[in-house]
Amino acid sequence: MYSDKKNVLQLVALLKAHGITHIVLSPGSRNAPLIHSFAGDSDFTCYSVVDERSAGFFALGVIQSLNRPVAVCCTSGTAALNLGPAVAEAFYQQLPLLLITADRPPAWTGQMDGQTIPQSGLFGKLVRQSVQLPEINNPEEEWYCNRLINEAILSLDNQEKGPAHINIPLSEPLFGFGTASLPAVRVIRRTKPLTILPDKAAYCKRFHSFSRRMIIVGQLPPENGLADLLKKLAADPKTVVLGDHLANIPEGDYSRFDVVFRTASAKELQTLTPDLVITLGGHVVSKRLKQFIRSASASELWQVSPAGEVVDTFQQVTDIVQSDPETFLRYLAEDHSDDMLALPHNDSTSADHETATFAERWKSACELTTTPHPDYSDLYAVGVLLDNLPQNSSLQLANSQSVYLSQLFGITDSVYRFCNRGTNGIEGSLSTAVGYAAATKRLTFLLTGDLSFFYDMNGLWNRHLSPNLRILLNNNGGGAIFDTLPGLNQSESLAGYITATHITSAKAWAEQQGVTYLSAHNEEELQKQLPLLLNPESNNAVILEVFTTIVKNSQEIKSYYRQQETKRL
């Protein structure tokens, strides 16, 4: 029987799954749930050493003998401090020593409670990774706990070996041992760098074993070298490639995939669920894509990670592929060639046909979505700009509504696309666009909302304003996106404190900084001013301020999605 503590069960199960089965145990009551669970499982070889300082060095000897990771487990307080000398030796000798320190709940630190010291991060720079596990109370905390343990174990040998620390707070009662078996746990594996991976064929074999493969491409810089490789992989009817505008890959058959997630039925989404997911690049704009994959029943998720870090955005990662995206995709695409010749292609285009391929189902689902044709509003202005972007120009997108609405329209492949998605903040989008335009010869467009613009209006207070800079400012008098969020749009504080309604205009500030100012209050004015915004021969930067209303914007967005839902009925 094992401890009833869920964080203990995760730890024990993952140590076993990762093959760390030699455990040095020092006695104590706070770590009794761990001792009982390890010692009662015949898969573990346990050693009892009373003195923690000696236990740490004893574990180093076992590592030297076995040439594999070994764990040492102690109780809370000064017991953990006594592992310090062995930790330092393991760090400089590059030995994979896993330190497991039981702890009291964080609330009791500094409260004169016995055997309680600050144990989180106790060993500082002498460990490759230090994590503090949560006491699991809900599924999200269980996912978090699982991920932290996997990260700590993987850090024991990430090109360089060394110690790692897992601190595990445990609340009383400590001595419930009623769990008969360990839970099924998600094990995250990490490859060696792909260039030295001994059995490269294993990944291709696994790749071809799945009939529903999805490659999700996050934010990447322009000219990232992946276009031809992704096109080659997507030619396989078992493979779907999803990437939003910020991926800077060619627009494909699935460019409005976010609309599918918003409007498809649960039954249809089930037919679109992948068995294998491969993720690469940075941030993904679509919140619904994240939710879809997090709740999907995919068998495996491979995160392509050049530095090998554990990034579990979709809460499903099983493999960390330590490689740059181009090398890994080229490897899959080259091996894919012979396999493609033997593939039986299906001519069916109906997603309802029981023999339709995964790609055909996705194409059919996306073909039901259409480009918005709204009345005058932010949505209308976004569509007008994106439909008319010149070839070989650059587009900077502000966060929030600007980047979300842009995903509903196509953008020509020659346009470079950027957005500050590292933290998704509204600050700095204007300054970033000004800096980009100052350093490039490309005509540079910024699509921004009013709160983002006025928050960063000092970006125009700049002696480096380029005449290549063009700004379309949607001024709806507040944070319009908040009016579209169910629940939040019912708040009594919405107008004054959440959408932050205002009557500010950019006109005086723009003209004072020598920027050519244009404005539009209706469809006719917008169409009239658009050629002036697009004109590459302007001697100054240009701003087109488009005045709309929050109410109309909300109506047009809701109307568009209702239309898309109707098409699927």
Question: Is 204 part of a structural domain of the chain?
Answer: yes
Angle at the Cα of 244 from the Cα atoms of 243 and 249, rounded to 5 degrees: 60
Question: Is 40 part of a structural domain of the chain?
Answer: yes
Residues 433, 343 share a domain: no
Neighbours of 98 (CB within 10 A): 26
Phi first, then psi: give them for residue 346, nearest 5 degrees.
-100, 130
Tell me the C-alpha distance between 150 and 530, whole Å.
53
Of 95, 170, 106, 97, the C-alpha closest to 130 is 97
Residues 384, 358 share a domain: no
Residues 398, 304 share a domain: no
- For residue 493, name the pLDDT band (cuts at 50, 70, 90): low
Tell me the C-alpha distance between 15 and 23, whole Å.
10
* CATH code where residue 396 lies: 3.40.50.970
Question: Is 185 part of a structural domain of the chain?
Answer: no
Residues 362, 403 share a domain: no
Question: Is 1 part of a structural domain of the chain?
Answer: no
Final residue belonging to a domain, choices 307, 340, 367: 367
Final residue belonging to a domain, choices 344, 367, 390: 367
Quote the tokens at residue 111.
Answer: 């409260």
Rg (CA), the chain: 28
Question: Is 60 part of a structural domain of the chain?
Answer: yes
% of the chain at pLDDT higher than 90: 75
Final residue belonging to a domain, choices 326, 346, 367: 367
379-419, pLDDT tens digit by residue? Answer: 999 999 999 999 999 999 999 899 999 999 999 999 999 99
Mean of the per-residue pLDDT values of the chain? 89
Neighbours of 552 (CB within 10 A): 18
- For residue 337, name the pLDDT band (cuts at 50, 70, 90): low
Neighbours of 516 (CB within 10 A): 18
481 or 251, which is more confident: 251
* CATH code where residue 284 lies: 3.40.50.1220
* Backbone dihedral region for residue 468 (phi beyond 0: left; psi -120 to 50: alpha; all else: beta): alpha
% of the chain at pLDDT higher than 70: 91
Domain span including residue 340 = 194-367
pLDDT at 129 over 50: yes
199-218, pLDDT tens digit by residue? Answer: 567 888 899 999 999 999 99
Question: Is 184 part of a structural domain of the chain?
Answer: no
Tell me the C-alpha distance between 245 and 389, whole Å.
14
pLDDT at 227: 94
**Quick one: 115 exposed, middle or buried, by C-beta within 10 A (0-12, 13-18, 19+)?**
middle
Contacts of 127 by beta carbon, 8 Å cutoff, 6+ apart: 87, 91, 99, 162, 163, 164, 165
Residues 387, 340 share a domain: no
Tokens 């109506």 — which residue?
555
Coil, strand or helix at 516: strand
Residues 536, 403 share a domain: yes
Q: Do residues 388 and 530 make contact, with C-beta atoms less than 8 angstroms apart?
A: yes
Q: Is this model's pTM higher than 0.75 or not? A: yes
Contacts of 350 by beta carbon, 8 Å cutoff, 6+ apart: 356, 360, 364
Residues 131, 107 share a domain: yes
Determine if the peptide bond prior to 33 is cis (ω within 30°).
Answer: no
pLDDT at 364: 93
pLDDT at 106: 87
pLDDT at 340 over 70: no
44-80, pLDDT tens digit by residue? Answer: 999 999 999 999 999 999 999 999 999 999 999 899 9
Q: Do residues 476 and 553 make contact, with C-beta atoms less than 8 angstroms apart?
A: yes
Residues 391, 314 share a domain: no
pLDDT (average), residues 338-358: 52
Q: Do residues 131 and 103 make contact, with C-beta atoms less than 8 angstroms apart?
A: no
Which helix (DSSP H) or strand (DSSP E) does residue 329 occupy? helix 325-341
176-199, pLDDT tens digit by residue? Answer: 999 999 999 999 998 877 655 555
Coil, strand or helix at 268: helix
pLDDT at 307: 85
Coil, strand or helix at 80: helix
Q: What is the signed CA dihedral for 243, 244, 249, 253, rounded to 10 degrees?
A: 70
pLDDT at 336 over 70: no
DSSP per-residue letters across 90-108: HHHHT--EEEEEEE--GGG
Q: What is the signed CA dihedral for 255, 261, 266, 268, rounded to 10 degrees?
A: -10
Specify the range with the lowest mean pLDDT, choosing from 60-64, 241-245, 328-332, 482-486.
Answer: 482-486
153 or 109, which is more confident: 153
- For residue 346, name the pLDDT band (cuts at 50, 70, 90): very low
pLDDT at 342: 43
Contacts of 315 by beta carbon, 8 Å cutoff, 6+ apart: 143, 294
pLDDT at 546 over 60: yes
pLDDT at 489 over 90: no
| Number of domains making up the chain | 3
- For residue 116, name the pLDDT band (cuts at 50, 70, 90): confident
Specify the range with the lowest mean pLDDT, choosing from 373-382, 431-440, 470-479, 483-492.
Answer: 483-492
pLDDT (average), residues 335-351: 46
Q: Partners of 131 in the beta sheet?
A: 166
- For residue 550, name the pLDDT band (cuts at 50, 70, 90): confident
Quote the tokens at residue 275.
Answer: 């068995």
pLDDT (average), residues 431-453: 94
Quote the tokens at residue 1.
Answer: 């029987």
pLDDT at 195: 59
Residues 492, 343 share a domain: no
Residues 383, 354 share a domain: no
Question: Is 372 part of a structural domain of the chain?
Answer: no
Question: Is 189 part of a structural domain of the chain?
Answer: no
Residues 486, 418 share a domain: yes
DSSP per-residue letters across 159-189: SEE--EEEEEE-PSP-----B-SPPP-PPPE
273-326, pLDDT tens digit by residue? Answer: 999 999 999 999 999 999 999 999 899 999 999 888 898 999 999 999 999 999
pLDDT (average), residues 354-360: 84
Residues 198, 146 share a domain: no
Residues making up the chain, counted from first to last? 569
